[in-house]
Amino acid sequence: GVAIQMDAVTIRYNTRTGPVHALGPIDLDIAAGEFVSIIGPSGCGKSTTSKVVSGLLKPSAGEARVGGERITKPPQSMGIVFQDSLLMDWRTVLQNVLLPADMRKRPKKESVATAMELLASAGLAGFEEKRPYELSGGMRQRVAICRALLLEPELLVMDEPFGALDALTRDRMGLELQRIWMERRPTVLLITHSISEAVLLSDRIIVMSGRPGTIIADYQVETPRPRE
Ligand code: ADP
Ligand code: ADP
Protein backbone atom coordinates (compact mmCIF):
# COMPACT_ATOMS: atom_id res chain seq x y z
CA GLY A 1 0.00 0.00 0.00
CA VAL A 2 0.88 3.68 -0.21
CA ALA A 3 0.62 6.39 2.42
CA ILE A 4 -1.79 9.31 2.02
CA GLN A 5 -1.23 12.75 3.50
CA MET A 6 -3.46 15.77 3.47
CA ASP A 7 -2.16 19.04 4.86
CA ALA A 8 -4.77 21.74 5.32
CA VAL A 9 -6.62 20.62 2.19
CA THR A 10 -9.45 22.93 1.23
CA ILE A 11 -11.85 22.53 -1.67
CA ARG A 12 -13.91 25.31 -3.16
CA TYR A 13 -16.17 24.46 -6.08
CA ASN A 14 -16.70 27.18 -8.62
CA THR A 15 -20.37 27.52 -9.36
CA ARG A 16 -22.45 30.01 -11.32
CA THR A 17 -23.32 31.79 -8.08
CA GLY A 18 -19.71 31.92 -6.94
CA PRO A 19 -17.30 29.67 -5.06
CA VAL A 20 -18.75 27.08 -2.67
CA HIS A 21 -16.45 26.17 0.22
CA ALA A 22 -17.15 22.42 0.38
CA LEU A 23 -14.27 21.01 2.40
CA GLY A 24 -11.71 21.74 5.03
CA PRO A 25 -9.14 22.72 5.82
CA ILE A 26 -8.54 19.09 6.75
CA ASP A 27 -5.40 17.29 7.90
CA LEU A 28 -5.28 13.56 7.42
CA ASP A 29 -2.51 10.98 7.62
CA ILE A 30 -3.17 7.45 6.42
CA ALA A 31 -0.41 4.86 6.71
CA ALA A 32 0.51 2.48 3.90
CA GLY A 33 -1.73 -0.58 4.06
CA GLU A 34 -4.26 0.97 6.39
CA PHE A 35 -7.97 0.28 5.83
CA VAL A 36 -9.84 3.49 6.58
CA SER A 37 -13.58 4.16 6.41
CA ILE A 38 -15.12 7.60 6.23
CA ILE A 39 -18.64 8.09 7.55
CA GLY A 40 -20.76 11.20 7.98
CA PRO A 41 -24.00 12.82 6.84
CA SER A 42 -24.77 13.61 3.22
CA GLY A 43 -23.03 16.72 1.95
CA CYS A 44 -20.18 16.75 4.50
CA GLY A 45 -17.51 16.28 1.84
CA LYS A 46 -16.83 12.55 1.81
CA SER A 47 -17.00 12.25 -1.99
CA THR A 48 -15.00 15.42 -2.34
CA THR A 49 -12.28 13.95 -0.11
CA SER A 50 -12.23 10.74 -2.16
CA LYS A 51 -11.86 12.78 -5.35
CA VAL A 52 -8.86 14.63 -3.93
CA VAL A 53 -7.18 11.34 -3.00
CA SER A 54 -7.96 9.94 -6.48
CA GLY A 55 -6.40 12.94 -8.16
CA LEU A 56 -9.70 13.96 -9.75
CA LEU A 57 -9.89 17.23 -7.80
CA LYS A 58 -7.00 19.57 -7.11
CA PRO A 59 -6.99 21.24 -3.67
CA SER A 60 -7.94 24.92 -3.76
CA ALA A 61 -5.46 25.31 -0.89
CA GLY A 62 -3.21 22.95 1.02
CA GLU A 63 -1.46 19.86 -0.26
CA ALA A 64 -2.39 16.22 -0.84
CA ARG A 65 0.24 13.50 -1.33
CA VAL A 66 0.08 9.82 -2.20
CA GLY A 67 3.20 7.76 -1.59
CA GLY A 68 4.99 10.98 -0.64
CA GLU A 69 4.32 12.61 -4.01
CA ARG A 70 2.01 15.52 -4.57
CA ILE A 71 -1.07 14.24 -6.39
CA THR A 72 -1.27 15.76 -9.84
CA LYS A 73 -3.22 13.05 -11.66
CA PRO A 74 -4.86 9.72 -10.83
CA PRO A 75 -2.05 7.53 -9.40
CA GLN A 76 -0.89 4.66 -11.64
CA SER A 77 -1.66 1.89 -9.20
CA MET A 78 -5.11 2.90 -8.03
CA GLY A 79 -8.45 1.15 -8.16
CA ILE A 80 -11.47 3.35 -7.93
CA VAL A 81 -15.16 2.57 -7.47
CA PHE A 82 -17.90 5.16 -7.27
CA GLN A 83 -21.52 4.63 -6.36
CA ASP A 84 -22.51 4.70 -10.01
CA SER A 85 -19.38 3.50 -11.73
CA LEU A 86 -19.54 3.72 -15.48
CA LEU A 87 -19.19 0.60 -17.55
CA MET A 88 -18.85 0.58 -21.30
CA ASP A 89 -21.94 -0.90 -22.86
CA TRP A 90 -20.15 -1.74 -26.11
CA ARG A 91 -17.71 -3.96 -24.24
CA THR A 92 -18.56 -7.30 -22.66
CA VAL A 93 -18.44 -7.76 -18.88
CA LEU A 94 -15.05 -9.47 -19.20
CA GLN A 95 -13.71 -6.71 -21.47
CA ASN A 96 -14.87 -4.10 -18.96
CA VAL A 97 -12.96 -5.80 -16.14
CA LEU A 98 -9.91 -6.05 -18.43
CA LEU A 99 -9.90 -2.33 -19.22
CA PRO A 100 -7.12 -1.34 -16.76
CA ALA A 101 -4.92 -4.16 -18.11
CA ASP A 102 -5.53 -3.03 -21.70
CA MET A 103 -4.64 0.54 -20.81
CA ARG A 104 -1.34 -0.56 -19.25
CA LYS A 105 -0.65 -3.17 -21.94
CA ARG A 106 -0.45 -6.06 -19.48
CA PRO A 107 -0.07 -9.65 -20.73
CA LYS A 108 -3.47 -10.77 -21.98
CA LYS A 109 -3.59 -14.39 -20.82
CA GLU A 110 -2.70 -13.68 -17.22
CA SER A 111 -5.11 -10.75 -17.00
CA VAL A 112 -7.96 -12.82 -18.41
CA ALA A 113 -7.32 -15.54 -15.82
CA THR A 114 -7.35 -13.00 -12.97
CA ALA A 115 -10.48 -11.31 -14.34
CA MET A 116 -12.30 -14.64 -14.58
CA GLU A 117 -11.37 -15.46 -10.96
CA LEU A 118 -12.55 -12.07 -9.72
CA LEU A 119 -15.82 -12.36 -11.62
CA ALA A 120 -16.39 -15.84 -10.21
CA SER A 121 -15.79 -14.66 -6.63
CA ALA A 122 -18.23 -11.82 -7.27
CA GLY A 123 -20.89 -14.35 -8.27
CA LEU A 124 -20.67 -13.42 -11.95
CA ALA A 125 -19.38 -16.66 -13.43
CA GLY A 126 -21.23 -17.25 -16.67
CA PHE A 127 -21.84 -13.55 -17.30
CA GLU A 128 -18.44 -12.81 -18.83
CA GLU A 129 -19.76 -12.43 -22.38
CA LYS A 130 -22.88 -10.43 -21.48
CA ARG A 131 -23.07 -6.67 -21.98
CA PRO A 132 -23.47 -4.40 -18.94
CA TYR A 133 -27.01 -3.37 -19.96
CA GLU A 134 -28.09 -7.00 -19.68
CA LEU A 135 -27.18 -7.03 -15.97
CA SER A 136 -28.93 -5.69 -12.88
CA GLY A 137 -27.62 -2.56 -11.13
CA GLY A 138 -26.04 -4.63 -8.35
CA MET A 139 -24.32 -6.90 -10.86
CA ARG A 140 -22.94 -3.91 -12.77
CA GLN A 141 -21.57 -2.52 -9.52
CA ARG A 142 -19.84 -5.85 -8.86
CA VAL A 143 -18.29 -5.67 -12.33
CA ALA A 144 -16.94 -2.20 -11.46
CA ILE A 145 -15.47 -3.56 -8.23
CA CYS A 146 -13.79 -6.42 -10.10
CA ARG A 147 -12.34 -3.90 -12.56
CA ALA A 148 -10.92 -1.84 -9.69
CA LEU A 149 -9.29 -4.92 -8.16
CA LEU A 150 -7.83 -6.35 -11.39
CA LEU A 151 -4.32 -4.93 -11.15
CA GLU A 152 -4.02 -5.46 -7.39
CA PRO A 153 -3.84 -1.72 -6.77
CA GLU A 154 -1.68 -0.19 -4.04
CA LEU A 155 -4.55 2.19 -3.33
CA LEU A 156 -8.25 1.46 -3.43
CA VAL A 157 -10.67 4.38 -3.28
CA MET A 158 -14.28 3.29 -2.92
CA ASP A 159 -17.15 5.75 -2.62
CA GLU A 160 -20.18 3.82 -1.38
CA PRO A 161 -19.31 0.86 -3.58
CA PHE A 162 -21.91 -1.40 -1.96
CA GLY A 163 -24.66 1.19 -1.61
CA ALA A 164 -26.79 -0.14 -4.45
CA LEU A 165 -26.34 -3.81 -3.59
CA ASP A 166 -28.81 -6.04 -1.77
CA ALA A 167 -27.87 -6.99 1.81
CA LEU A 168 -26.52 -10.44 0.95
CA THR A 169 -24.36 -9.27 -1.95
CA ARG A 170 -23.14 -6.34 0.14
CA ASP A 171 -21.89 -8.71 2.83
CA ARG A 172 -20.32 -11.00 0.26
CA MET A 173 -18.47 -8.16 -1.52
CA GLY A 174 -17.39 -6.74 1.84
CA LEU A 175 -15.82 -10.05 2.79
CA GLU A 176 -14.20 -10.32 -0.64
CA LEU A 177 -12.70 -6.87 -0.16
CA GLN A 178 -11.45 -7.87 3.29
CA ARG A 179 -9.88 -11.03 1.88
CA ILE A 180 -8.04 -9.06 -0.80
CA TRP A 181 -6.90 -6.53 1.76
CA MET A 182 -5.54 -9.24 4.05
CA GLU A 183 -3.67 -10.90 1.18
CA ARG A 184 -2.16 -7.82 -0.48
CA ARG A 185 -2.49 -4.98 2.02
CA PRO A 186 -3.47 -2.15 -0.30
CA THR A 187 -4.31 1.16 1.36
CA VAL A 188 -8.11 1.36 1.33
CA LEU A 189 -10.27 4.45 1.63
CA LEU A 190 -13.89 3.35 1.92
CA ILE A 191 -16.78 5.79 2.08
CA THR A 192 -19.87 4.20 3.50
CA HIS A 193 -23.19 5.06 5.07
CA SER A 194 -23.08 1.84 7.07
CA ILE A 195 -21.46 2.09 10.48
CA SER A 196 -21.56 -1.68 10.89
CA GLU A 197 -19.77 -2.11 7.57
CA ALA A 198 -17.11 0.39 8.68
CA VAL A 199 -16.63 -1.38 12.01
CA LEU A 200 -16.52 -4.81 10.42
CA LEU A 201 -14.06 -3.97 7.66
CA SER A 202 -11.74 -1.18 8.71
CA ASP A 203 -8.78 -0.43 11.00
CA ARG A 204 -9.89 3.10 11.49
CA ILE A 205 -13.07 5.13 11.15
CA ILE A 206 -13.04 8.82 10.33
CA VAL A 207 -16.19 10.81 11.02
CA MET A 208 -16.81 13.94 8.98
CA SER A 209 -19.44 16.60 9.52
CA GLY A 210 -20.42 20.16 8.73
CA ARG A 211 -20.46 22.50 5.75
CA PRO A 212 -17.67 22.98 4.88
CA GLY A 213 -16.90 19.41 5.90
CA THR A 214 -14.24 18.70 8.48
CA ILE A 215 -13.04 15.68 10.42
CA ILE A 216 -14.76 15.59 13.80
CA ALA A 217 -13.60 12.19 15.06
CA ASP A 218 -10.97 9.61 14.23
CA TYR A 219 -11.28 6.17 15.83
CA GLN A 220 -8.99 3.20 15.82
CA VAL A 221 -11.15 0.07 15.55
CA GLU A 222 -10.27 -2.24 18.42
CA THR A 223 -12.37 -5.22 17.36
CA PRO A 224 -10.02 -8.14 16.75
CA ARG A 225 -10.31 -9.27 13.18
CA PRO A 226 -8.93 -12.38 11.54
CA ARG A 227 -5.37 -11.86 10.38
CA GLU A 228 -3.36 -14.23 8.22
P1 ADP B 1 -23.64 11.85 -2.28
O2 ADP B 1 -24.18 12.09 -0.90
O3 ADP B 1 -23.83 10.45 -2.73
O4 ADP B 1 -22.26 12.36 -2.48
P5 ADP B 1 -24.67 14.24 -3.50
O6 ADP B 1 -26.10 14.52 -3.79
O7 ADP B 1 -24.03 14.99 -2.40
O8 ADP B 1 -24.57 12.67 -3.28
O9 ADP B 1 -23.78 14.48 -4.79
C10 ADP B 1 -23.80 13.63 -5.91
C11 ADP B 1 -22.88 14.24 -6.95
O12 ADP B 1 -23.49 15.41 -7.50
C13 ADP B 1 -21.55 14.71 -6.34
O14 ADP B 1 -20.53 13.74 -6.50
C15 ADP B 1 -21.21 15.97 -7.08
O16 ADP B 1 -20.32 15.76 -8.15
C17 ADP B 1 -22.54 16.47 -7.63
N18 ADP B 1 -23.00 17.62 -6.85
C19 ADP B 1 -23.43 17.63 -5.58
N20 ADP B 1 -23.79 18.85 -5.19
C21 ADP B 1 -23.60 19.63 -6.25
C22 ADP B 1 -23.80 21.02 -6.49
N23 ADP B 1 -24.23 21.84 -5.55
N24 ADP B 1 -23.51 21.50 -7.73
C25 ADP B 1 -23.06 20.68 -8.68
N26 ADP B 1 -22.85 19.37 -8.52
C27 ADP B 1 -23.11 18.85 -7.32
P1 ADP C 1 -20.81 13.78 0.60
O2 ADP C 1 -20.05 12.84 -0.26
O3 ADP C 1 -20.37 13.73 2.04
O4 ADP C 1 -22.28 13.66 0.47
P5 ADP C 1 -19.87 15.80 -1.23
O6 ADP C 1 -18.39 15.72 -1.19
O7 ADP C 1 -20.57 15.16 -2.37
O8 ADP C 1 -20.44 15.27 0.16
O9 ADP C 1 -20.31 17.32 -1.18
C10 ADP C 1 -19.81 18.25 -0.23
C11 ADP C 1 -20.42 19.61 -0.50
O12 ADP C 1 -19.93 20.10 -1.72
C13 ADP C 1 -21.92 19.60 -0.60
O14 ADP C 1 -22.40 20.78 -0.03
C15 ADP C 1 -22.18 19.56 -2.09
O16 ADP C 1 -23.40 20.17 -2.43
C17 ADP C 1 -21.00 20.35 -2.62
N18 ADP C 1 -20.57 19.90 -3.96
C19 ADP C 1 -20.19 18.64 -4.29
N20 ADP C 1 -19.84 18.58 -5.58
C21 ADP C 1 -20.00 19.81 -6.08
C22 ADP C 1 -19.79 20.40 -7.36
N23 ADP C 1 -19.34 19.69 -8.41
N24 ADP C 1 -20.06 21.73 -7.49
C25 ADP C 1 -20.51 22.45 -6.46
N26 ADP C 1 -20.71 21.98 -5.22
C27 ADP C 1 -20.46 20.68 -5.03
Ligand 1 pocket check for 47: Cβ under 6 Å: yes
pTM for the complete prediction? 0.85
Which helix (H) or strand (E) segment is 144 a member of?
Answer: helix 137-149
Report the candidate in 210, 156, 204 with the shortest Cα–Cα distance to residue 28. Answer: 204
CA of 11 to the centre of ligand 2 (A): 10
Residues of the chain with pLDDT under 50: 228
Ligand 1 pocket check for 42: Cβ under 6 Å: yes
CA-angle at 30, arms to 26 and 34, nearest 5°: 145
Q: What is the pLDDT of residue 227?
A: 54
Ligand 2 pocket check for 161: Cβ under 6 Å: no
Q: What is the pLDDT of residue 219?
A: 94
CA of 33 to the centre of ligand 2 (A): 28
CA-angle at 63, arms to 57 and 65, nearest 5°: 80
Spatial contact of 60 and 102, defined as CB atoms under 8 Å apart: no
pLDDT in tens, 50-76: 999 999 999 999 999 999 999 988 887
Q: Please, which residues bridge with residue 219 across strands?
A: 205
Burial class for 105, CB neighbours closer than 10 Å (0-12, 13-18, 19+): exposed
Ligand 1 pocket check for 41: Cβ under 6 Å: no
Report the candidate in 42, 43, 47, 32 with the shortest Cα–Cα distance to residue 1. Answer: 32
Which ligand is nearest to the Cα of residue 163, counting in written order? 1
Ligand 1, atom nearest to 46 Cα = 4
CA distance linking residue 52 with residue 56, whole number of Å: 6
Ligand 1 pocket check for 187: Cβ under 6 Å: no
The per-residue b/e assignment along 199-228, b for 16 or more CB within 10 angstroms, e otherwise, is bbbbbbbbbbeeebbbbeeeeebeeeeeee
Burial class for 163, CB neighbours closer than 10 Å (0-12, 13-18, 19+): middle
CA distance linking residue 7 with residue 223, whole number of Å: 29
Q: What is the pLDDT of residue 82?
A: 86
ipTM above 0.90, yes or no: no
User: How many Cβ atoms are within 10 Å of 96's Cβ, its own excluded?
Assistant: 23
